[in-house]
Structure 1
Amino acid sequence: MNYSVKLRSGDSIHSTLSNRPSVKGKFSKIFLLLHGFPDNNESFQELAKILDKNYPKALILSPLMRGYEPSSYHKFNEYKPSDLAEDVHNWVEALGRPVTLIGHDWGAIASFKAASMYPDDFESVITMAIPYLSNLHLHDLLFYAPEQFYYSSYFLTMQSSYFYGKLRQLGSKSYLNKLWEYWSPSYQFDDDIEPVRKTLLFEDTIDHVTAYYRCVMNPLNIRHIRGHIDFDKVPTLIMGGREDQCMTVRLFELEERKLQKFPNAKVEIVDGVGHFLHRENPKLIGDLILDWLKEH
């Protein structure tokens, strides 16, 4: 994506990578690519090339999510999944319907919530690294995937600046590097992480992007988190890496069984990749997405 455009959501302005110099015009498809944490919108560069090659008349956009730059900073209680979904809806309103939504990590959570709140906005939703949490319950974790409690323990470090401030560390031994290494143990990310570090270190961005975790841990926000998708309206592909040590593959295996009765929902467990599956093997992930889109 060689161009930079702006998307607006209310008073917020989101810097957006694009395959076209303008979002105005007639396009065969519109793709919105939503990044996660700790990441930025450069996450999809290789995947976007694959989409662009196969859909040469499409518009492909990858915005910086809420809080990743000063122009989209919000109050710290306004980083709930429903707030992220509202951003997505506002972008779709400006771009035109329907949109194909592709989300990774927090981008996946935003995608699930947007699909539940605004199903008419989307022709298909594709998520990576996060299962469809709305049909999972505490007993699923306790009895089927107790390791997820350990994997998710980093949530606790995001509750206080004393701990999440470690994300400001520099170098290959930094907390940011350790997260990427642990979550994707086979990923040789080399310099890929440096643009992400630059994004996170700009002004007060770390305080804002970690607020996602403080909002989701607030019991008053439960209704803003879950959201059931009508898969007949919004076909949904859910992908998880078998080596992921942020979100255990056992939850994706459980999802696969839970969603068997829904013909328009599919879980794809991808071998040889971890949490950053689209960065680790964009060719494989691209092929899976293209196969899905041919059917939906």
Structure 2
Amino acid sequence: MLTSGSATERITEYTRDGLVFDVLDQGPLDGPIVLLLHGFPERASSWSAVMAVLNEHGFRTVAPDQRGYSPRARPKRRRDYRIGALVGDVAALIEVIGQPVHLVGHDWGANIAWVTAGRHPRLVASLTAFSVPHPGSFMTAMLTSKQILHSWYFAFFQLPLLPEKWMMRPGARAEKWYEQSGMTEDDLERTKTEIVDYGALPFAVTWYRGLPFSNPGIGRLRITVPTSMVWSDGDTFIGRSAVDNAQRYVDAAYTLTVLPDVSHWIPTQASDAAAAAVLRSIALSGT
């Protein structure tokens, strides 16, 4: 049973099923807690600028390096990266925190945040999803729009070894792909340092390889906590049609914010707007 304010010391790591996850924890220890989940191919540091703004507003921010990204949490099997396992990691961290959190996710982190809110609503006070909509909305868009063209790499990443070799080669086409998505030189350098050089890339790609082992029922999950969806019109990975239907899955207060002239990489490239969206979502919850 969760008890308010039980995590009175900094959380620098936590353990689940023998895996050890690294955590960034900053801001006032007695502040309401915002839990931020990074996407691919990024780590908790992608939230640094957003965390700083939230801390200034009195919120404590907790951001883990998720499964495959933390060096001591890198199982090798594809099935170990199914969505249920990734959601279980988040739920375990919230249990360590000891109180419901304002849950925030970007990209893959948004997908995990949606499922966590659907499966464990008692752990979530509000939900803010950046870029990636509810799984049901995304799946529908894959069948009824051009979303499948945006998501071609889902199939490519199922191949063994080739995707990570393609992405790690200096001057590779992957860099061009990232640049076309809006990544800056600083973003590319951070990806090289924090993902490739850190040894996380093969495991990060395995998040996609775990999809065939995931429960398709996640597409039917109902969300019962106040929810904000944030999408940017410069996103080359997620089309607008995937976003517009997300509200159908939410049985609570809901807002959609569209950021103009912003790429997919919202937390690093539009951090003030991202923080403002999180604050609006928290306001919806009345906590």
TM-score by length of structure 1 reads 0.84
Q: Which moved more, 1:129-138 or 1:27-36?
A: 129-138
Question: Partner residue of 1:165?
Answer: 165
Paired residue secondary structure (1:271): strand
Alpha-carbon shift at residue 112 of structure 1 (Å): 0.9
Question: Partner residue of 2:178?
Answer: 180
- Aligned 1:200-219 pairs, distance under 5 A: 200-202=195-197, 204-216=199-211, 218=212
Q: Which of 246, 255, 259 in structure 2 is aligned with 1:255?
A: 246
What 5-or-longer segments of structure 2 have no aligned partner? 1-9
Amino acid at match of 2:279: L
Alpha-carbon shift at residue 4 of structure 1 (Å): 8.2
CA distance in 2, matches of 1:206, 1:100: 28
CA distance in 2, matches of 1:200, 1:26: 29
Alpha-carbon shift at residue 94 of structure 1 (Å): 0.7
Q: 1:18 to 1:179 in 2, by over 3 A?
A: farther
Amino acid at match of 1:272: D
CA distance in 2, matches of 1:135, 1:192: 29
Q: 1:230 to 1:252 in 2, by over 3 A?
A: closer
Question: Partner residue of 1:92?
Answer: 94
Deviation string 1:171-191 (CA, Å, 9 cap, x unpaired) is: xx434433332223xx5x222
Amino acid at match of 2:14: L
What 5-or-longer segments of structure 1 have no aligned partner? none
Question: Partner residue of 1:197?
Answer: 192
Paired residue secondary structure (1:229): coil
Kept in 1, the 8 Å contact 2:81–2:210? The answer is: yes
Kept in 1, the 8 Å contact 2:134–2:219? The answer is: no
Paired residue secondary structure (1:156): helix
Kept in 1, the 8 Å contact 2:227–2:281? The answer is: no
Number of residues of Structure 1 aligned to a counterpart in Structure 2: 274
Question: Partner residue of 2:272?
Answer: 283
- Aligned 1:115-194 pairs, distance under 5 A: 115-135=117-137, 137-138=139-140, 140-143=141-144, 145-146=145-146, 148-160=147-159, 161-170=161-170, 173-184=171-182, 189-194=184-189
CA distance in 2, matches of 1:191, 1:126: 26
Paired residue secondary structure (2:263): coil
Q: Which moved more, 1:31-40 or 1:159-168?
A: 159-168
TM-score by length of structure 2 reads 0.86
Deviation string 1:156-179 (CA, Å, 9 cap, x unpaired) is: 221121233211123xx4344333
Alpha-carbon shift at residue 126 of structure 1 (Å): 0.7
Question: Partner residue of 2:31?
Answer: 28
Question: Partner residue of 2:216?
Answer: 223
CA distance in 2, matches of 1:162, 1:136: 26
CA distance in 2, matches of 1:224, 1:42: 31
RMSD: 2.4
Identity %: 20
Alpha-carbon shift at residue 27 of structure 1 (Å): 1.9
